Structure formats: structure tokens, C-alpha cells
Amino acid sequence: MAPPLDDLGTVVPLPRPPRRVVSLVPSLTEAIAHSRPDVLVGATDWCTHPGDLDVTRVRGTKNPDRAAIAGLRPDLVIANKEENRELDVTRLRAAGVPVWVTVIETLPQALTSLERMFVEALRDPVPDWLSEARTLWSGPLPDVAATVAVPIWRDPWMVVGSSTFTGDLLRRAGLANAFAAHADRYPHMALERIDRPDVDFVLLPDEPYTFSGQDGPEAFRQAPTRLVSGRLITWYGPSLLQAHTVLHQVAQGH
């Protein structure tokens, strides 16, 4: 049996089904912990779901402790092209650690990538929750119910721009991203370009910046704001089930 290829087309040597897995991606940590908790031995400090996750922490997504990862003797490390540094992937592989890199910029990519990760990398059947998510999110694009802006940081302000998983997910729930045509994926943006009359409302997530009722809404004078779980608009995994319900409710009741 030929070794599988990750989403970048890189051969990942897996002579047997992985039994010790380290995940460097919060979304994928949750997905694996939900379906194969027995194989997960390490995760980043940012891997907050499930809440009772009891594995060795290996620092952050951008600064993983490579020595700690190697010390866990993993059969496989799970990474993502956007969330993790190529340098860390390269050095882990140079140390003899197999790394599976995912590439996810759209919802269909997420569903396909997750299926490949489970079937080809972990050698498992497709999880029921993933099949349900594919069914829920399939079908034609709905009509646009509202135009939204999604800040991800303030001082300086940054927003979700083009070619992002978040933008694609929102559009499939009937919400158009006001900055979908911007050349950058996460552009810096002056507040007055976000807070404008043609934006129906501004979604303020609690990650990566922790917007809250006391930090964020007070900055806007023209566009109404809505607080939303960042996990529901940026994570791909079991959260896709809840995201379908919540985001469609937001679109219909804005």
C-alpha cells in the first residue's frame, strides 16, 4: 500500500495506523478528540475543546515546543498550512516525525480535508458528525440575507478579507462578507471603513481577539454589532453542526 499524501501532496510515511497523535490545530484537535480520543497524546495551549481534554500541551500553534513533541514519540503530527509555520513542519520532519498538513480555505475543502485525515491518515471510517455536517451544508448557495464585516483584531483593526474559510462559511449561511473582494485575506482596515451604513451588522468574535460586550461594540456608531463565538465561524470540525444552526438563525433574524 502506497503511503498517503497530505493536502499539499507530500508523502507521509505511515507504516501502520497512528496510535500516538499530536495536533497543532485547535479545530482538528477537537475533531480527533471527538472521534478518536484514544490516539491523541498532545495538543497546543489553544486547543480548548473539548473542555476536559487531558493531553500534554506543546505550547502554541506558531511556536510549538518541538522537543516536547518529539518527546511524546508521536506516530503522526497534524498541522495546517495557515495556522502553523512551515519551519516547524520542516524541522519536525527532519527529526523523523511524520507530519500531515491540511489546507483549508473553504467549507468544501474543510469537509474533504477532514475526511481524508480520518480515512487516509488515521485509517478510520468517516465520523458520523462529519457525514451530518456534509449533509447540512450541501446544496445551492442561499440568497444573501445580510452583509457583514468580521473584525478579528483591534488597535489596529483587522478584518476577514478574501479567500478565507470564515468568509466562505458565512456566505453559505446567507451572510455576505463586506470585504470578500479585498486583495488580502486579513487586511488592516480603518474603523470608518468597517463602521458604515451599507454594512448590515458587524460580527464580533471572541477569538483571536476577545471581543465582548464591554470591548468592541462601543466603537461602532453606524453598523449594529453582534457578538458571536469565534469557534463557530473559524473552526472546522464538530462545531460545524452548531454553526449551521446559529449562523442561519443570525442570517434570518438580523
- Quick check: is 5 in a domain? no
Average pLDDT over residues 144-172: 97
Does 89 share its domain with 126?
A: yes
- Quick check: is 69 in a domain? yes
The band of 47, judged by pLDDT with boundaries at 50, 70 and 90, is: very high
Does 102 share its domain with 164?
A: no
**What are the angstrom distances between the C-alpha of 76 and each of 73, 99, 100, 144, 241?**
9, 6, 7, 41, 27
Q: Using CA of residue 87, residue 114, residue 31, residue 148, what is the dihedral sign?
A: positive
Q: What pLDDT shows up at residue 216?
A: 97
Kindly report the CATH number assigned to the domain that includes residue 236.
3.40.50.1980
From CA 163, how far away is CA 246, in angstroms rounded?
Answer: 22
Residue 139 has pLDDT above 90, yes or no: no
CB 38 within 8 A of CB 20: no
From CA 110, how far away is CA 88, in angstroms rounded?
Answer: 22
Condensed to tens digits (0 to 9), the pLDDT of residues 198-222 reads 999 999 999 999 999 999 999 999 9
Share the mean pLDDT of the chain. 96
Q: What pLDDT shows up at residue 254?
A: 59
- Total structural domains in the chain? 2
User: pTM value?
Assistant: 0.93
65 is in which domain, residue-wise?
21-135
Does 130 share its domain with 164?
A: no
